[in-house]
Amino acid sequence: MLCRVGQIRRCAASLSQTLNLVAASRQKHTLPDLTYDYGALEPSINAEIMQLHHSKHHATYVNNLNVTEEKYQEALAKGDVTAQVALQPALKFNGGGHINHSIFWTNLSPNGGGEPQGELMEAIKRDFGSFQKMKERMSAATVAVQGSGWGWLGLDKESGSLRIAACANQDPLHGTTGLIPLLGIDVWEHAYYLQYKNVRPDYVKAIWNVINWENVSERLQNAKK
């Protein structure tokens, strides 16, 4: 019996050590570099906004996500379900913030604007009637977000159709609606207030001038695989 107890204790100690090693070796999330300068999107989005948005706001989501995941790993190792549940909102908020912004930066380009080409354009015409109608519908849905959130163009993989959706706060599109994100417009005030004040429609109108349609098209191709 004592031998059996000793084996259980050694097994538990070994499991605890393994969990600690997994937690220690877990790759931490990092702030992605931009492929353009902070001032490259002017006049649509000024340099001050881009610098604060990327280096401060997005960085905060990344840092808080890493801290929350460490706490979650500790709760898992202890079998503390109450702590795991309590950490879910922070995981959703900071994880969503990191996911959303990582998409957002690549959706923008100093060489953006204009209209998409190829399969993306055909899909937009099929599902919305025209590119202009899609822009109008997505702009309206984005401007109408109450408080803070995002407007999205996403792919419904089951039907193969493009859809427009809005998500509150930092709720990630795929985890919230099942749609695969192709294009996101951030309408948290930190994304535009220093330049556009409380006139959100002007910001949403201007951002179409820097949309990176090549990136959106690439996301559509990857989503269909």
**Is 186 annotated among the ligand-binding residues?**
yes
Q: Residue 76 belongs to what H/E stretch?
A: helix 59-78
Whole-angstrom Cα distance, residue 66 to residue 214?
Answer: 31
Find out whether 136 and 97 touch, Cβ atoms under 8 Å: no
190 annotated binding-site participant: yes
C-alpha distances (whole Å) from 31 to each of 102, 203, 219 are 8, 25, 20
58 assigned to a ligand binding site: no
- Do residues 141 and 164 touch, judged by C-beta distance below 8 A? yes
Residue 54 known to bind ligand: no
Query: Which stretch of DSSP H or E encloses residue 207?
Result: helix 200-207
* Structure-token pair, residue 194: 């220093």
What 8-state DSSP symbol labels residue 130?
A: S
Annotated binding site: 53, 101, 186, 190
Annotated binding site for Mn(2+): 53, 101, 186, 190
